[in-house]
Structure 1
Amino acid sequence: MAEEKELSYKEAIEKASSSITRFPLIHIRGEKNILYLFYEDMKENPRREVERIMRYLDLSVSDDVINRIVELTSFKSMKENPMANYSCIPSPVFDQSISPFMRKGEVGDWKNHFTPEQSKMFDEDYEKQMKDVNIPFRSLI
């Protein structure tokens, strides 16, 4: 088997071309029982989003439990947790020296990596793929 050439970030985006989407597109027409969560919303108000999940699952827990969930699911806490950050995975399987599984936890960091042309390509592809889906999308807080 021929060894694959390692692509630069720019080459990888160009190779992916129109198959890039900002989140996985689920092709389920007419499905009503789906809860969409967005990272931007979770960063903006994690407690509100945990409460949304609880309502969606028809669960009720104490404020103390919700506070603990918010604390344990914070980016900082998960980045330090080997069960969440994949640091317990052997490097031949997932080499974190190349790129850690959890990077910065910032909203909008993509702007530091995409050129205006790549962002435009992304937006055009998103519009095309999502034209029949009514899911509000935001990329900033």
Structure 2
Amino acid sequence: MTFRNTPSWKVIYLIRNPRDILVSGYFFWIISKFVKRPESLEQYFEWFTQGHVAFGSWFDHTRGWMSLRGQENVLIVSYEELKQDTRSVVQKICRFLGKKLEPEELNSLLKHSSFQVMKENKMSNYTLLRGWLIEDKNGSLMRKGISGDWKNHFTVAQAEVFDRIFREKMAGLPPELFPWE
């Protein structure tokens, strides 16, 4: 990717453990009406690791954005660090954007952007799309909002295969760019 280095744009790129993205994606696609549905997590695992999912390969996409790290107009944040210390990450984003929130504004933002509040808000939880884009009458775009749920779904063999693919596809990038276990 190549961007002109101009101060008129800024990008905040959020990364997340691709294992969690795979599991989250699977649970979303099995209730969606607008994509080919996987028959099983095993099938979706194959699709994901081969890049045959909506928006293509996570590995290629992430590798492309990681090549822009260090540019003054690009901030890379991980979901895991956001979950661990939301306040600090929001403050980091504000500094990046050249904005300052008053304490009450920051507290309001933290309250209203919490997973639980957003999961209960029909304007952010996509329940208004049930029957139109989401088939399952109980389906929800917002399932758990946690890190590490992949451990409850991957087999030992899948975890080993995924780790091998991850090492191959992300070779040459510093491991500290990926702050998950």
Indicate the TM-score class for this superposition, using the shorter chain for normalisation.
0.7 to 0.9
Q: Is the 8 A contact 2:38 2:44 kept in 1?
A: no
Tell whether 2:17 aligns with 1:17: no
For residues 99-114 of structure 1, the aligned pairs below 5 Å read 99-114=139-154
1:17-48 deviations in Å (ceiling 9; x for gaps): 34364794151535513211212111111101
User: What letter matches 1:48 in structure 2?
Assistant: S
Q: Is the 8 A contact 1:35 1:56 kept in 2?
A: yes
Aligned to 1:27: 64
Q: Is the 8 A contact 2:130 2:139 kept in 1?
A: no
- Change beyond 3 A, Cα 1:86–1:43: same
Q: Deviation at 1:90?
A: 3.9
Q: Which has the higher strand share?
A: 2
- Change beyond 3 A, Cα 1:39–1:126: same
Return the TM-score normalized by structure 2: 0.65
What is the CA RMSD across the aligned residues, in angstroms? Answer: 2.6
Q: Secondary structure at the match of 2:123?
A: helix
- Change beyond 3 A, Cα 1:102–1:30: closer
Greater shift, 111-120 or 5-14, is seen at: 5-14
- Change beyond 3 A, Cα 1:50–1:5: closer
Aligned to 2:87: 47
Q: Please, which runs of 5 or more residues in structure 1 have no aligned partner?
A: none
User: What letter matches 1:9 in structure 2?
Assistant: L
Tell whether 2:127 aligns with 1:87: yes
Q: Please, which runs of 5 or more residues in structure 2 have no aligned partner?
A: 1-35, 52-56
- Change beyond 3 A, Cα 1:97–1:118: farther
Aligned to 1:72: 112
In structure 1, how many angstroms separate the alpha carbons of the residues matched to 2:170 and 2:107? 35
